[in-house]
């Protein structure tokens, strides 16, 4: 049977009284406020008194929340969850804004706006996904990545030899079952851990965090962090008292 696994393609952060400069990134993003409305500019349009928004990858935006708490969910666009989000947009639409929490709740098919917290939203995102058991070989690779993501020299051949498949056959099987490539799965696993360490360990340097999570060096970590989430780890480190990982 399929074992319950956390979804590696959803990175959820909580931010307090935080303003973020204009940026863009490769992940889908859902931003929601549980208390005070906030201001955002999305693709050149200013929105005030928002309770949330959903944007496609590479859409420029900023958020200004001078008080209150924002929940920020980043989703890999090529994952099963990302493809599910893509179907929620109308043609030629690149963002959806929610003036009230009830609108956000209704959009994601929630029942009680008062109870629609980030955990409930993540459950809603995962619920439509196929509930079929992973192939034993895919489950083996997932478990191996979880235990060994910090090794810098993991290659397609490394994974293929574990399950006695050719790299091309394993790549096709892994993508069929998880919705993403092996390299993307590994990257998100490393980035999630690097972000967690950046926000939780004030004594560890960013260079040490890069090495400890499987990146060759800090510039490589910077590159992928900026590409996927629109900010380098230095920005997270600077705001580590204002941001935490769910």
Give per-residue pLDDT as tens, 164-207: 999 999 999 999 888 889 999 999 999 999 999 999 988 999 99
pLDDT at residue 6 in the model: 59
Instruction: Measure the N-to-C terminal CA separation of the chain; round to a whole number of Å.
Output: 27
pLDDT at residue 114 in the model: 66
pLDDT at residue 2 in the model: 30
Give the DSSP H or E segment for 22.
strand 19-23
The average pLDDT across 44-67 equals 93
pLDDT at residue 143 in the model: 93
Buried b (16+ CB within 10 A) or exposed e, 21-60: eeeebbbbbbbbbbeebbebebeeeebeebbbbbbbbebe
pLDDT at residue 144 in the model: 96
pTM attached to this predicted model: 0.91
**Nearest-CA neighbor of 180 among 213, 149, 142, 132?**
142
Confidence label for 140 from pLDDT (cuts 50, 70 and 90): very high
Show the tokens assigned to 163. Answer: 């399950």
Name the phi and psi angles at 28, rounded to 5: -65, 150
pLDDT at residue 5 greater than cutoff 60? no
- 121 versus 150: which is more confidently predicted? 150
pLDDT at residue 77 greater than cutoff 90? yes
Domains of the chain: 10-126 (2.60.120), 134-232 (1.10.10.60)
pLDDT at residue 66 in the model: 83
Contact assessment for residue 218 and residue 208, using Cβ atoms and an 8 Å cutoff: no
Please, which contacts does 133-138 make with residues 24 or more away whose CB atoms are closer than 8 Å?
Answer: 133/1, 133/2, 134/2, 134/177, 134/178, 135/173, 135/177, 137/163, 137/165, 137/170, 137/173, 138/173, 138/174, 138/177, 138/178
């Amino acid at each position: 049977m399929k074992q319950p696994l956390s979804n590696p393609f959803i990175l959820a952060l909580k931010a307090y009284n935080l303003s973020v400069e204009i940026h863009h990134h490769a992940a889908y993003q859902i931003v929601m406020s549980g208390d005070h409305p906030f201001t955002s500019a999305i693709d050149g349009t200013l929105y005030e008194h928002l309770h949330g928004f959903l944007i496609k990858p590479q859409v420029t935006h900023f958020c200004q929340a001078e008080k209150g708490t924002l929940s920020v969910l980043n989703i890999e666009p090529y994952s099963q969850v990302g493809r599910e989000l893509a179907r929620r947009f109308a043609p030629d639409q690149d963002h959806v804004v929610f003036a009230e929490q009830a609108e956000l709740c209704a959009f994601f098919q929630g029942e009680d706006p008062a109870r629609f917290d980030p955990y409930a939203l993540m459950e809603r995102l995962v619920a439509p996904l196929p509930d079929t058991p992973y192939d034993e070989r895919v489950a083996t690779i997932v478990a191996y990545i979880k235990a060994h993501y910090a090794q810098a020299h993991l290659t397609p051949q490394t994974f293929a030899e574990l399950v006695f498949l050719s790299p091309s056959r394993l790549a096709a099987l892994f993508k069929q079952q998880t919705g993403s490539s092996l390299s993307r799965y590994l990257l998100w696993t490393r980035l999630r851990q690097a972000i967690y360490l950046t926000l939780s360990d004030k004594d560890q340097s960013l260079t040490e965090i890069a090495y400890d999570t499987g990146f060759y060096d800090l510039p490589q970590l910077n590159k992928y962090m900026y590409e996927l989430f629109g900010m380098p780890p230095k920005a997270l480190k600077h705001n580590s008292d204002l941001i935490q990982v769910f």
